Structure 1
């Protein structure tokens, strides 16, 4: 499906979200290093876990609200709220105030608003795109994000250390502009529902009760539950991209020569090396997502899901066995291939399972793979203090292989009993 044939909502989002993502990735990859230096590895790990608990709750509420109150409204509120949070973070890193605690609180609130945005944005794609084209549309949005992952860290490596305040201000302004653009140039796509009138004496917890009831129905879908659990285990590997990897590379790389020409050498230290491999990840994804997604669609979904987790495990082993910049570059290429195998296809799988009137909640529940993963994943940072890097990487490898087994079990269940909404 060509971009010029897309629904106008998606065209507006593709280009406006791209600008937001570029500014976001100019500083986000370096925040784990920032918090680890300010609070220490142990405290930083637990604080990041704590902040993600609120994101998990917000993610579920976001899916419910996207179905009840509309995709557009939730996306506008989320974008503006995230922008205001980044401005608060900027103030905490400004010439007038240096407070890592205020910055951490603002970062956590921004994460909550981001969790509200995600299910509404995914459900909007499913609302306006036919099932046969969804994988390719999701893949293009994924490519857009990863173009930002190429450009953002390179610019961030140049400007972040000396201009963190200015970067955060720009990120806040761009997010607020995104909210205003969505408010003016997009339309609501949620299916019209018969909304029960709210009585004046309705208790405050009425909507919460309805939300719990709806998600309980989703979790009873055995296939979908296995999908989430397997995704959480696999997520312990790919979430390390901006958690364990930058800290590890900073510790093991002092100064290394990337290449030399005659007497001239290009040397990098840990943070710069991480910026390079992160940009490599984004570049490969930007160039290859659509092609690899198309290639993967020719195979059985079972094989793609299982092999993706196995390749993740291989990449983790490669990362653990090298302290050399070119070794990290090779390991990142393998890691990226595992990432590309599931891009687009997993989102399309969710839309296949979800009933039309519950798409927002299904996408919210599906993205628990990421929010729960991001909640648990920061524990890898204090684990390096408790058991060392080698054993930490070994645990991550086992979790990736366990996810492969659960994906196999998921498809066995899917074939034996049709999933909800199929």
Structure 2
């Protein structure tokens, strides 16, 4: 499906979100280092876990509201909410006020609004594209994010240390602008949602009961539940890209290492610079290869792709545990990136196959719990590295990725059995 054939909603979103994402990645990769230096490893890890607990609740609420109140409304409110949170974050990092705790609270608000935005944005793609085209569309959005991962950290590496206030202020302006653009230029795509009473005016406890009832339906879908559980385990690995890995690289590369040398000339790199380079490597390969690898992976059974991706993640974590040499880290990041690319495009299409049309928002919200729950647990790796060392922390993450393989096997075996039986209404 060519870009000119896309629904107008998606074209507007792709342009707007790409610009916002570049700004976000100018400072986001460095926040784990910022909070660790401000609070210490143990305290920062616990605070990040606490922060993501709210994102779990917001994620569930976001999917429900995307189906109930519409994709557009939730995306607009979430964008503006993120913009206002960034204004407060900028104030806490301004020349007139330095408050890491206020900054942390604002970061928590940004995460909450991001969790509200995500289910609606994913459901909108499923609403306006045919099933055969969804993997390609999701892959393009994923590529745009990773172009931001390449450009953002490079710019951030130059400006972040001295101009964090200005970067956060720019992020607030762009997020609010995105919300206003979405309000004016995109249209609603959600199927009409009807309550038992036929209207939207229900009490808060009725609202909660309806929400729990609908998520109970999802939990009863055992295949989907296994998919979430496996994703939470393998997500422990993926989430370390902006948690454990930056702290590890900064601590491991104390003295400058030579990245390139020609004769008497050499290009040396230190801890934070090395992490920025590794992150740019990840983003570059994802931006360059997502679409081609997605097309490649669609030639194989989804079962084999998910399983092999988890195994590649495990090998990458083992590789990180064995080296602090810059080229060893570059190799480990290449493996990490390939594991990411294998499922980047196909997983959203897989979710849309499992989800009933009228519950797509909630299914996408529940599916993103792989990352929300994963991100809630993943910060524990930071204090764990202080207790048992980086080597055993990385190896523990490798074990979790291997455990996800067995859960994927159970999930796909269940799907195969269902195909041989009479149609099952989950």
Q: Which residue of 2 aligns with 1:414?
A: 415
Q: Which residue of 2 aligns with 1:150?
A: 150
Q: Which residue of 2 aligns with 1:349?
A: 350
- Asked whether the 8 Å contact 2:303–2:408 carries over to 1, the reply is yes
Count residues with an aligned counterpart. Answer: 421
What is the CA-CA distance between 1:204 and the residue it aligns to? 2.3
Q: Which residue of 2 aligns with 1:7?
A: 7
Gaps of 5+ in 1: none
Residue 311 of structure 2 aligns to a residue whose secondary structure is: helix
What is the CA-CA distance between 1:370 and the residue it aligns to? 0.5
Q: Which moved more, 1:191-200 or 1:32-41?
A: 191-200
Q: Which residue of 1 aligns with 2:214?
A: 214
- Asked whether the 8 Å contact 2:321–2:392 carries over to 1, the reply is no
Deviations 1:15-67 (A, max 9, x none): 10000000000000000000000000000000000000000000000000000
- Asked whether the 8 Å contact 1:353–1:421 carries over to 2, the reply is no
Q: Which residue of 1 aligns with 2:260?
A: 259
Residues in 2 aligned to 1:233 and 1:348: alpha-carbon distance in whole angstroms = 20
Residues in 2 aligned to 1:292 and 1:323: alpha-carbon distance in whole angstroms = 29
Residues in 1 aligned to 2:424 and 2:23: alpha-carbon distance in whole angstroms = 39
Residues in 2 aligned to 1:193 and 1:338: alpha-carbon distance in whole angstroms = 38
Residue 205 of structure 1 aligns to a residue whose secondary structure is: helix
Q: Does residue 1:269 correspond to 2:270, yes or no?
A: yes
Residues in 2 aligned to 1:237 and 1:294: alpha-carbon distance in whole angstroms = 24
- Asked whether the 8 Å contact 2:235–2:370 carries over to 1, the reply is yes
Deviations 1:183-206 (A, max 9, x none): 011000001233434597x54211
Residues in 1 aligned to 2:57 and 2:415: alpha-carbon distance in whole angstroms = 28
Q: Which residue of 2 aligns with 1:250?
A: 250
Deviations 1:166-217 (A, max 9, x none): 00000111111110110011000001233434597x5421111100100010
Residue 266 of structure 1 aligns to a residue whose secondary structure is: strand
Residue 323 of structure 2 aligns to a residue whose secondary structure is: coil
Q: Which residue of 2 aligns with 1:24?
A: 24
- Asked whether the 8 Å contact 2:418–2:424 carries over to 1, the reply is no
Residues in 1 aligned to 2:368 and 2:183: alpha-carbon distance in whole angstroms = 24
Deviations 1:282-312 (A, max 9, x none): 0000000000000000000000000000000
Residues in 2 aligned to 1:43 and 1:12: alpha-carbon distance in whole angstroms = 41
Residues in 2 aligned to 1:360 and 1:421: alpha-carbon distance in whole angstroms = 19
The within-5 A match list for 1:82-121 is 82-121=82-121
Residue 313 of structure 2 aligns to a residue whose secondary structure is: helix
Q: Superposition RMSD on alpha carbons, in Å? A: 1.3
Residues in 2 aligned to 1:368 and 1:113: alpha-carbon distance in whole angstroms = 15
Gaps of 5+ in 2: none
- Asked whether the 8 Å contact 1:352–1:421 carries over to 2, the reply is no
Residue 97 of structure 2 aligns to a residue whose secondary structure is: coil
The within-5 A match list for 1:110-189 is 110-189=110-189
Residue 187 of structure 1 aligns to a residue whose secondary structure is: coil
Residue 160 of structure 1 aligns to a residue whose secondary structure is: helix
What is the CA-CA distance between 1:390 and the residue it aligns to? 1.2
Distance 1:420 1:100, change over 3 A: farther
What is the CA-CA distance between 1:420 and the residue it aligns to? 7.4
Q: Which moved more, 1:293-302 or 1:410-419?
A: 410-419
What is the CA-CA distance between 1:153 and the residue it aligns to? 0.6
Residues in 2 aligned to 1:47 and 1:173: alpha-carbon distance in whole angstroms = 27
- Asked whether the 8 Å contact 1:355–1:421 carries over to 2, the reply is no
Residues in 1 aligned to 2:85 and 2:424: alpha-carbon distance in whole angstroms = 37
Distance 1:288 1:421, change over 3 A: farther
Deviations 1:347-394 (A, max 9, x none): 100000000000000000000000000000000000011111111111
Residues in 2 aligned to 1:264 and 1:9: alpha-carbon distance in whole angstroms = 51
- Asked whether the 8 Å contact 1:350–1:363 carries over to 2, the reply is yes
- Asked whether the 8 Å contact 2:35–2:44 carries over to 1, the reply is yes
- Asked whether the 8 Å contact 1:119–1:360 carries over to 2, the reply is yes
Residues in 2 aligned to 1:223 and 1:345: alpha-carbon distance in whole angstroms = 17
TM-score under structure 1 length normalisation: 0.98
Residues in 2 aligned to 1:107 and 1:29: alpha-carbon distance in whole angstroms = 13
Distance 1:199 1:273, change over 3 A: closer
Residues in 2 aligned to 1:94 and 1:349: alpha-carbon distance in whole angstroms = 44
